[in-house]
Structures are given as C-alpha cells and as structure tokens.
Amino acid sequence: MSPYFRRNFINCLSGFKSLNLVGTADAEGQTNLAPFSQVFHVGASPALLGLLVRPDSVPRHTLANIEATGFYTLNHVRADFVKEAHQTSARYAISEFEACGLTAEFRNGFPAPFVGEAWVQMGLRFAERHHLAINGTILVIGYIERVQIPADCINPDGFIDLEKAGSLTSAGLDAYYEAKKVGRYAYAKPDQPVSEIE
C-alpha cells in the first residue's frame, strides 16, 4: 500500500462519521474554523463530547485556541455549505470564516464563534485532555454549555431529527453524505421482537 492509498483506506474503516466545524478564537479574538470528523458522545449527564485532534494536522490552531480560552463551538455541516466547510481545512493565514465565506457569530457573551449557517450549533467549555501515547493524538473532552437547534427538529422524546436538520455525515478524509432514515427501534429486550419507534 502506498502511504496515500493507506491513508484513504484506513480513514474509511471506522464507518460513517460526524461532521462538525469547530469554531474558536485566540486571546486577541482572531477567529479560526476547522472541520472535524472525530467528534463523539462521551456522556449525557454531565453532557460531554469528545474531540480527537491529530497534533500534526492543520487544525492545531483549534487546540491552541481551546487551551488559551477554554471555549469552542461545534456546528453541524449542511449540504448548502459543505464546500465552504471542506475549504476551511486549507492552511490560511487569515480566519477561515473570512477566507471561506462563512459567518462568525458571537452571541450572548460566549467566547467562541458559532457558524451562522449551521442549524445545529453548540457551545462547549473545555473539561479534560488526554494524550494517547500510542500515536500522539490528543483527546479533548468538553462540557456542552449551549445548544441551538430549530425547534421542529426536536421530537417530544428528546430525539433530534438530524436528517430534517440537514446534518451531513462523512467518510474517509474527504467524502460527504446525506442520511436517509432506515428505522428507529425501541429499547431491545430479550423476550420481545424489534418494534419501530415513530
């Protein structure tokens, strides 16, 4: 396997991934925006998300800013700005918001910028950092402090209809997908067949 083949191949193996733009600002208020496909649920109470950062990758400004300010935003990517979102991975000298035509929104005193175009936006506060010795990857865990989602994308039971919200999923290093529901199933019990949830 060539290194290029290998990178594409291995990056696809985990399966489909989340797709978030991470918004930060440095101590002087200079904004930064970068795409991450390694954001995952860590816990519901307290509400925690994990973010994996490769120390040798472009988004290291993201890590520096999170450590400097303690805050960052996560913004789900939709198809109508997926090209701009992809382009934020380029190595810009200026803010990726400005370079890629996305809107930096500072709201209600939250210290990191939200992506105005995103329908699902979260504000996080840094909680904990782990160094994965095996390859130098950094795991950042943060508390979810703010959430903004269109009300009609939230079901009465708390389930968020990410398909309706237009959130994309990603694969490998560079592929983006829309999701189409197959089914939602009730909590599984040994003595009961699988039943559909509306």
In terms of CB distance, is 29 or 55 closer to a copy of itself?
A: 55
Give the C-alpha distances (Å, rounded to integers) separating 127 from 44, 66, 175: 14, 10, 30
Contacts (CB under 8 A) with a copy of itself, residues 148-177: 154-155, 157-160, 162-163, 167-169, 171-172, 174-177
Q: Which of 26, 40, 103, 150 binds a copy of itself (CB under 8 A)?
A: 40
Contact 120, 19 (CB under 8 A): no
Which of the ranges 25-33, 62-70, 108-116, 124-132 carries the binding residues for a copy of itself, by CB under 8 A? 124-132
Q: Which of 79, 98, 145, 150 binds a copy of itself (CB under 8 A)?
A: 79
57 binds a copy of itself (CB under 8 A): no
**Counting Cβ atoms within 10 Å, is residue 121 exposed (0-12), middle (13-18) or buried (19+)?**
buried
Contact 187, 196 (CB under 8 A): no
Q: Which of 22, 33, 39, 140 binds a copy of itself (CB under 8 A)?
A: 39
Q: Which of 38, 57, 69, 148 binds a copy of itself (CB under 8 A)?
A: 38
Contact 141, 127 (CB under 8 A): yes
187 binds a copy of itself (CB under 8 A): yes
CB of 64 to a copy of itself, least distance (A): 19
Contact 51, 100 (CB under 8 A): no
Separation between Cα atoms, residue 10 and residue 129, nearest integer Å = 25
Question: Residue 40 contacts by C-beta under 8 Å, 6 or more apart in sequence?
Answer: 18, 49, 50
Which of the ranges 23-31, 65-73, 75-83, 106-114 carries the binding residues for a copy of itself, by CB under 8 A? 75-83
